[in-house]
Amino acid sequence: MKHLPRKRFGQHFLTDGGIIDAIVAAIAPHPGDPMVEIGPGLAALTQPLVERLGRLTVIELDRDLAARLRQHGQLQVIESDVLKVDFSQVTQALNATKLRVVGNLPYNISTPILFHLLKYVDVIADQHFMLQKEVIDRMVAAPATSAYGRLSVVLQWRYAMEDVLFVPPESFDPPPRVNSAVVRMLPRQDVAALPLDVFEECVQVAFSQRRKLLRHTLGRWLDARGFSGSFDVQRRAEEVPVQEYVALVQQV
């Protein structure tokens, strides 16, 4: 029975065989890799992955799709909203130390998923995601550019990221109204330890009014926390490099 894409789940199913092959090549799965796929959908990416891996764990919210996936003998299906999945527990269940995470993320909740996974970065070896091209442009953006923002700063602190593949709308059914791309995310090993909640709050406040100087936003946040260090708030948020935000939170 044909599955009709559900708008509320942001479903766009990948159908282009050439693109699928290119994504699998970018992921480079090896037999036995402990891998988790988010949003497997109709298994366009799932099947070539599991053929190379032997076993694959998938996270699927759509009840009908989850039931269909359970009929596949090589898949372990977690029927859940990915934002409620504890990836540390998944790692333990797979008897692994690090997970490889992949997926064609629902575009309507891609940013919340990225921030959710950030909590589990210590148990993640790498991530490969299909996302809206505009989102990936923001993820990898350099300071002093219009795309540089909260997503850029928080993710670049913790990951080395690379836009590895462009994917046009006609590669999907139904075609989305935007261009897509695949990003590779490798957790940094030499990262500065930070309280994640404070770092995220600091960056969110900084970019809350990005046209204004930081003294109107971050300056007030720092004053409220009794900050007595040195930080130039006579700049806009997009002018501050990632490492300066990191250094600031280390002092707060």
Give the long-range contacts of residues 233-241, CB within 8 A, separation 24 or more.
236/210, 236/211, 236/212, 237/149, 237/206, 237/207, 237/210, 238/143, 238/144, 238/145, 238/146, 238/148, 238/149, 238/207, 238/210, 239/143, 239/144, 240/143, 240/206, 240/214, 241/143
For 89-119, the pLDDT digits (tens) are 999 999 999 999 999 988 889 999 999 999 9
pLDDT, residue 134, reads 96
**Homologous superfamily of the 7-187 domain (CATH):** Vaccinia Virus protein VP39 (3.40.50.150)
Q: What tokens were used for 35? A: 């891998």
Residues marked as binding for S-adenosyl-L-methionine? 12, 14, 39, 60, 81, 104
* 3.90.870.30, 3.40.47.10, 1.10.8.100, 1.10.260.40: CATH of 196-251: 1.10.8.100
Give the residues of the chain that fall short of pLDDT 70: 1-11
User: Would you say 209 and 219 are in contact if contact means Cβ atoms under 8 Å apart?
Assistant: no
Quick one: pLDDT at residue 192? 83
Kindly report, residue by residue over 120-150, the tens digit of the pLDDT: 999 999 999 999 999 999 999 999 999 999 9
For residue 11, the model assigns a pLDDT of 58
| Binding-site annotation: residue ranges | 12, 14, 39, 60, 81, 104
